[in-house]
Structure formats: structure tokens, C-alpha cells
Amino acid sequence: MNALDVQGLVKRFGGFTALAGVQFHVPAGSITGLVGPNGAGKSTAFATIAGFHTPEAGQVRLFGRDVTGQPPWTLHASGLARTFQIPRLFAGLSVLENLMAAAPPQSGERLPAPWFARGRIAREEAALRAQAMAVLERLNLSRHADAPGTALSGGQKKLVELGRTLMSGARLVLLDEPAAGVNRTLLRDIAATIRALNERDGISFLLIEHDLELVAELCPLVHCMAEGRVIASGSMAAVRADPAVAEAYLGMAVA
């Protein structure tokens, strides 16, 4: 069983073809890498898989189920989450509240709540708070629980985004450049968190990343994209050794 199957995915912006028949898979329970030079179409593939763009052709299957063209909220409810190249936290909320807001809808959100439901709502709220605190502890961010989400460093925000995916009950997480602009220490935290979420919670990951050492460390299977297509798949070592891959990266360096 694959967490994700992408077949013949095509996405055009006006006359420009950003995805020209993208084909790859993410085995269930794996951390799979997606690499390739700038402009290859990696982020567009994420946005299209997650329902933010409608593809002109092709199919997306999530844990065996065809979900092509479904809107982001439906896919999210089916267990698909994504993080962004630049983390997005709610500005008016604390770090803890940012995690709590990522949980599936609670009884208290179906207003107006009848008087007899208030006890249940308070208990749910307390349970949610405890769950969010436990997640913050795992991320080593408990001391920032009450700080505004916006007060965190870029790398810490990325950790919170990972925590949000855990709160949301996601089964497949698309990570767009989790290591970009992050210092080495925090990078180790992020790598360890991804691994723990994968091993302990069974969450599958598709990881876009320019740090090929990190990809080699985390991902047994790597797909390389260039010009809207997957041009090589295999271990990081095999993909690196592929002449088509070298040529694609060289093309970028020359351009």
C-alpha cells in the first residue's frame, strides 16, 4: 500500500506547463524525498496534490483512494497535511493555542452550546490543552507555550508546524524545505522530530529539501524532478549518480 500515488499529473499556468506528467509514489510508513533544481515544479506538485491547484490531467491517490481534484479541507480531513516553505502561524494566538487550533473540530465549536453540554466542552478543552502541552514537550518547546506564535524563530515555527500536523491527526505530511534557513542545532531537532513522528506515530512523509545530506539521512527512496517531470527515482546515492540528475542541476547552475 502506498500513502501517495501520483500518476501523469499535469498543471499549466496560462501557456506555461509547470507539471508535465509527474509520476511517483510514497510507500506507506516511509519518509520519501523529493529533490530537484529550483523551478522544477516541486512546490507546484505539493500544491496540486493538496488540492490548492486543480490539475489538467492525472491522478492522485491517497492510501489507495482516488482524491484527484478534492479541495484542501476535504483532503485535510482525510489525513493529508502540508507545511509551507515559510511557516504560517496564527498571529493572535499563543504557541499552545496554535497547536490547539490544529485539532479536528470540537463540540464547543458547534454553537450555540446548550447549558448541559458545558461540562463536556470544558473537559474537551482541558484534554486538548493537555494534548497540545504533550506535543510541545516532544518538540522541546514547552517553555514557549504562552509566547505569541510570532515570537518564535523561523526554525522554531517549523517545529510548531510539525506539531500542528501531529495535532491534526495527519497520516501523510508534505514538508516543503523544513531545513531552509534553519541553524544546525535546530536542524537536528527537526530531523529527529520527523523521524519520531514517522517511527512512533506511523506518519508518512514526503519531503522537499535542498539539503541533500538530510535527504540521504532520512529518505530510503528519493524522487528527483526537473522541468515538471520526475527524471530519476531510487536511493539518494543512485539518484545522485544519475547523469540526467547531474545535467539538470548543472543546467540550473549555468542558468
Enumerate binding residues for Mg ion (CB under 5 A).
Answer: 43
Give me the least distance between CB of 57 and ligand ADP, in Å please.
Answer: 16
Nearer of residues 39 and 58 to ligand ADP, judged by Cβ? 39
Nearer of residues 38 and 183 to ligand ADP, judged by Cβ? 38
Rounded to an integer, what distance in angstroms lies between the CA atom of residue 31 and that of residue 8?
Answer: 22
Give me the least distance between CB of 227 and Mg ion, in Å please.
Answer: 14
155 binds, among Mg ion, ligand ADP, none (CB under 5 to 8 A by kind): none
Nearer of residues 53 and 144 to ligand ADP, judged by Cβ? 53
State the amino acid at position 85 in one-letter form: Q
Q: For residue 23, give the DSSP letter.
A: E
107 binds, among ligand ADP, Mg ion, none (CB under 5 to 8 A by kind): none
State the amino acid at position 116 in one-letter form: F
Give me the least distance between CB of 16 and Mg ion, in Å please.
Answer: 15
44 binds, among ligand ADP, Mg ion, none (CB under 5 to 8 A by kind): ligand ADP
Residues numbered 22-51 forming contacts with ligand ADP, rule: CB under 6 A: 36, 38-44
Give me the least distance between CB of 228 and ligand ADP, in Å please.
Answer: 7
Strand, helix or coil at 40? coil
Q: Is residue 251 within 8 Å of residue 37, measured between CB atoms? A: yes
**83 part of the interface to ligand ADP, by CB under 6 A:** no
Q: Is residue 32 within 8 Å of residue 207, measured between CB atoms? A: yes
39 binds, among ligand ADP, Mg ion, none (CB under 5 to 8 A by kind): ligand ADP
Q: For residue 84, give the DSSP letter.
A: -
Q: How far out from the chain centre does Cα 53 lie?
A: 16
Of 206, 220, 211, 203, the closest CA to residue 24 belongs to: 206
Q: Is residue 236 within 8 Å of residue 74, measured between CB atoms? A: no
Q: For residue 114, give the DSSP letter.
A: P
Of 197, 172, 194, 166, the closest CA to residue 102 belongs to: 166
Among 13, 92, 118, 183, binds ligand ADP (CB under 6 A): 13
40 binds, among Mg ion, ligand ADP, none (CB under 5 to 8 A by kind): ligand ADP
Residues numbered 149-208 forming contacts with ligand ADP, rule: CB under 6 A: none
Strand, helix or coil at 226? strand
Residue ranges that bind ligand ADP, judged by CB under 6 A: 13, 16, 18, 36, 38-44
